[in-house]
Structures are given as structure tokens and as C-alpha cells.
Amino acid sequence: MVALSKSTIEQFFMKTCKPVNALAFPQIPLVDLSKPDANHLLVKACQDFGFFKVVNHGIPLKFINKLESEATNFFSSPQSIKEKAGPPDPFGYGNKSIGRNGDVGWVEYLLLDVKNGSNYDKIQHPEDFLCVVDDYVTAVKNMACEILEMMADELELEPRNVFSKLLMDEQSDSVFRVNYYPPCPEVEESEKDGGNLIGFGEHTDPQIISVLRSDNTSGLEISLRDGSWVSVPPDSESFFINVGDSLQVMTNGRFKSIKHRVVANTKKSRMSMIYFGGPPLNEKIAPLASLLEREEDSLYKEFTWFEYKNSAFTSTLSHNRLGLFEKFSSKI
Ligand SMILES: C=C1C[C@]23C[C@@]1(O)CC[C@H]2[C@@]12CC[C@H](O)[C@@](C)(C(=O)O1)[C@H]2[C@@H]3C(=O)O
Ligand SMILES: O=C(O)CCC(=O)C(=O)O
Ligand SMILES: [Fe+2]
């Protein structure tokens, strides 16, 4: 990134909420996938937070390291090379501008379509990149499916692939993103006023499940039920799982899609990679009939993922996207 003036940088300061010093939150739910209580703990975490950390995940470290090193090469290449992989329409390289509706963040990113690798050819040496992304995404998708099946078991839902089949479907509309948050030394002056540089503004993820891995730089924050923000202690050897809006709907609001954001670290860069597991475009998203048989009212109108995605992608990051599909907004 080129050096920017203070006034240019000011547009990245948080506008919607007072500057915060979100406390590090050591009580992030922790699920050890190799332990017998994993099913119970992950369902509890989805109900209480919509977020948890996973250890003993079985994803080979070499997949993670290779991808991190390819991505580091990419983000440290000359701006003109990176820009050849952009603009994000919606896939490709993006710089500071997120989505199409005016959101900005102190971030560079690569957004890739998992279903159809064709967009990789914007990137220089696509063959190297394609190979490492595929290995990584396949492994992470399998872990996401295992977690979704553990959820179904714990909720006594049948078949147990009721959620995971959506990610396994050849037409699954899943997305992969690598975010690079450069340091911003120019901001230290303004920090005296208690400012915070926004890396990625607050939002919920629209899909079913998101699997996030970052390096050991802090920055990710989650919003608790009382509206306070807490900082997630980074852990490069673990994965963090987010419940997405679609899973909130399918569980009729039992699982919460978590509001999260990234505050840029002004001194250190941060890199994260996120797999967003989504359903096929024509899939109908609605509370599962077997949950409604248990005498619950459906809280949501049915929609297809295509409809939800269209509406989501015309909204800004912080918009409450599910509001449009709620039947009784006061109940949620
Ligand atoms: C402002 C936007 C960026 C986003 C599309 C949207 O209009 C609203 C949802 C955003 C989000 C958040 C989670 C993922 O990072 C993402 C790829 C997604 O599916 O929804 C982004 C979208 C994006 O960056 O294009
Ligand atoms: O970079 C991160 O840690 C999170 C980014 C994020 O929430 C997203 O890309 O949807
Ligand atoms: Fe997100």
C-alpha cells in the first residue's frame, strides 16, 4: 500500500460505534473434535454465541502453510500485478473497497469462487495458486461438513447430512477469501484520540457456516448478546467457526449468526483465510420441518439462496439482512 495522508486514513475510522478497546475474551467456546463431548459443546456454542474455536481438527499443517506462503507472495507483489487480478466483480483482488455498496476497510483481499476455478486465471501463476487453494478448501470443507453432521446428531435431526449435503452438492455456492490487513504506521498519531482503524466492518456472514483461520495477529472481534465487542485471541493452529445467517434460519433461530468485525492492527500485518460454505443457488432456505414439528412457530419466511444472496449483495456490511425475511421481528 502507498503512504496515505491523515485525512485519507480518517475514512477508515469506525463511524458507527465509539472507539473501543475491546477486551480480549479468553472464554471463547473451545471444541476439541477428538473428544466425546464435542457434539454437545459445539451445539451449545452455536446457541450461546454462534462462534467457537476448533482444535484437533486434523487439517494438515502443510496445506495451511503452503497457502499462507502463496498468499504472502501475492500480497507482497507489486501493486500493478495485484491489480491484474482485480477488480472484484465480485471475484478477484480488492483493495480497501468491500462489496458494491460503499463499504471501506483497511484491507486487501482475494475473493474466489470455489465452485468454478475459472476466476483464478486472473492471478499470476494460477496453476500454483489453484493447487494450494484446492487442497486447503477441500480439507476445510470436509471439516465443515463433519462439524455440520455433529450438529445434526446432537439436535437429533435426520438425515445427519441435512446441512452438510448443501456444501457437498456440486452446485454449492461456496466462496473462499484471503484477507490481508497491512500495518498502518501513519495512524499512531490519530490513535491518541482513541481512534480505531476498521479493517473489515461489522457484519454477519450470509452463508451456512464460515471456517476462519488467521495468523497470530489479533484483530478479529465478536459481538456478545449484550452488544459489547470482545477481541478473539488469535491462534494460528486452530480454526474459528461462525454460524451464518442461513444456518440461523434453518435452525429457526436456535443457532445465532454472529456479528463480527476486524480492527486493523496498526503495527503488524494480519492475514486470514475464510471458507464460506453456502448452499446451491436454487436451494430453499427455511426452518427445518423436523424442528417445527416440535411445536415451534416458523420465525422466517422461506427464500431461495439466490434471493437471499441478491438481497445481501445489494446491502452494506452492517445491514440486518435477515430482517426482510423475519415473520415476527420482535421475537428474535
Ligand atoms: C458489503 C458487502 C460485502 C459482502 C457483500 C455485501 O453486500 C454484504 C455481505 C458481504 C459479505 C460478508 C461475508 C463474506 O466476506 C462475503 C464474501 C459474503 O458472502 O458476504 C462478503 C461480501 C463481499 O465481500 O462481496
Ligand atoms: O479477516 C477476518 O478475520 C474476518 C473477515 C470476515 O469476517 C469476512 O471476510 O467475512
Ligand atoms: Fe465475516
CA of 206 to the centre of ligand 3 (A): 9
Distance in angstroms (rounded) separating the CA atoms of residues 141 and 219:
24
pLDDT in tens, 56-81: 999 999 999 999 999 999 999 999 99
What pLDDT, on the 0 to 100 scale, is given for residue 267?
A: 86
Q: List domains and CATH numbers for the chain.
A: 29-280 (2.60.120.330)
What is the residue-wise DSSP string for 229-256? EEEPPP-TTSEEEEE-HHHHHHTTTSS-
pLDDT digits (tens), the chain, 332 positions: 445 565 666 677 665 444 456 677 779 999 999 999 999 999 999 999 999 999 999 999 999 999 999 999 999 999 999 999 999 988 999 999 999 999 999 999 999 988 755 455 566 556 677 789 989 999 999 999 999 999 999 999 999 999 999 999 999 999 999 999 999 877 765 554 545 789 999 999 999 999 999 999 999 999 998 989 999 999 999 999 999 999 999 999 999 999 999 998 888 999 999 999 999 999 999 999 999 987 789 999 999 999 999 999 999 999 999 999 999 865 44
Ligand 2 contact, 274 CB (< 6 A)? yes
136 closest CA partner among 184, 65, 185, 199: 65
Q: Output the pLDDT for position 309.
A: 96
For residue 64, the surrounding DSSP H or E stretch is: helix 61-75
C-alpha cell at 62: 502443510
Q: Looking at this predicted complex, what is its ipTM?
A: 0.99
How remote is the CA of residue 48 from the centroid of ligand 2, in Å? 21
Which atom of ligand 2 is closest in space to residue 276's alpha carbon? 10
- Supply the pLDDT for residue 3: 54
C-alpha dist (Å) from residue 104 to 48, 55, 101:
30, 33, 9
Contact status, residue 92 vs residue 98, Cβ threshold 8 Å: no
| Residue 207, ligand 2, Cβ within 6 A | no
Determine which residue's CA is closest to atom 5 belonging to ligand 1: 313
The catalytic residues are 270
Residue 123 pLDDT: 65
Say which residues have a Cβ less than 8 Å from residue 138's Cβ, sequence separation at least 6: none
Note if the bond before 159 is cis, omega within 30 degrees.
yes
List own/partner pairs for 76-80 with CB under 8 A and 24 or more apart.
77/124, 79/2
Q: Ramachandran region of residue 282, left (φ > 0), alpha (ψ -120 to 50) or beta? A: alpha
